[in-house]
Structure 1
């Protein structure tokens, strides 16, 4: 069901999905096979959503790719070219891979309210990303991240105060990169 106030670009593909009020899906995006978008979400061009579930006020940037088995809270930012994986042992043969289990709610990745996943990050199956987490651009997330932490490209997890100004955070991050 697509809410009447949602905006779907004429060059977007939206099939068998739920689009909430005031959400927007831009050109060349694919929103298919059971995807759920809450209210006020934005799906940028060339994003592919094949069954994930999103809360309200989420931004999915250009080229993001994700299939079934993912549950996102509200106020989530997914950066450009983020890939979220749902298959622990990917092979050409799909025996043992049950996409319907994902659609029933057996989620392999959970991203909680207020989290940010930076550009080109990869999130592996079985991960829980806590509230207000910041995942660095280019990181490979291979384990759970507790609330209010930063997951760095080198895999370290450090406390993160999302209430700090972005400029102050950039200075802190640059100092950590040098150390």
Structure 2
């Protein structure tokens, strides 16, 4: 093992795991087979990396075979009790806080912050320099651009049906938040909705229609009240 690795107690490292230089690993950490971890990475207590997904018997999702290993970039911090599934890719200098969950086939861009208790479900793309704050929920099949802000307790959804029929199974669609989009605390975004570049959603709003570029929407259902001020646009930030 690399001499520049500091390791706590009860650490389990699987077969063919690749570890870079200057890594700190806490207690009770599990790193599954084949995982690739860059240099200058901090992995705190009780973290699980590379976990293969399991499927409930009643799940509507297709059964998956063994997925490729997880890839963790350089300078990443992974907080206590976070879980990162197999086939996730975490870019350089990402910060993942305590109790976060990042599911399979998720990519997270460089310098993004994943807050405490955040859940990013399967098959999502999260861009660079984003902030996903405490306990927000990113539903499966969502696309998040760069410099996106998602406040605490935001809920995104991907299922338009509350029915019990099978006809809904092929209609799942996550949300899309384009570059510079911002969503306030406790807002709910309905399935398939798009928040275009620099669109902003006020706290506690329910988004039932696409939010156009540079619009500020408020309420339930959310409606435009004005444009985002010029000095708040992404292009005008230093």
- Return the offset for 1:161: 2.9
Paired position in structure 2 for 1:175? none
Pick one of 200, 225, 228 that aligns with 1:134: 200
> Structure 2: how far apart are the matches of 1:82 and 1:20?
24
Paired position in structure 2 for 1:74? 146
| Structure-2 change in CA distance of 1:5 and 1:91 (3 Å) | farther
> Structure 1: how far apart are the matches of 2:97 and 2:166?
31
Aligned length: 159
- Asked if the contact 1:20–1:38 (Cα under 8 Å) also holds between the matched residues in 2, the reply is yes
- Cα RMSD of the aligned pairs, angstroms, is 2.0
Paired position in structure 1 for 2:223? 156
Q: Which moved more, 1:67-76 or 1:9-18?
A: 9-18
Q: Which has the higher contact order (CA 8 A, sep 6+)?
A: 1
- Asked if the contact 1:132–1:162 (Cα under 8 Å) also holds between the matched residues in 2, the reply is no
Pick one of 101, 115, 124 that aligns with 2:181: 115
> Structure 2: how far apart are the matches of 1:161 and 1:83?
22
Unaligned residue ranges in structure 2 (runs of 5+): 1-70, 233-238
Q: Which moved more, 1:74-83 or 1:89-98?
A: 89-98
Pick one of 89, 102, 122 that aligns with 1:31: 102
Instruction: Report 1:4-83 matches (<5 A).
Output: 4-16=74-86, 17-51=88-122, 52-83=124-155
Structure with more of its chain in helix, by fraction: 1
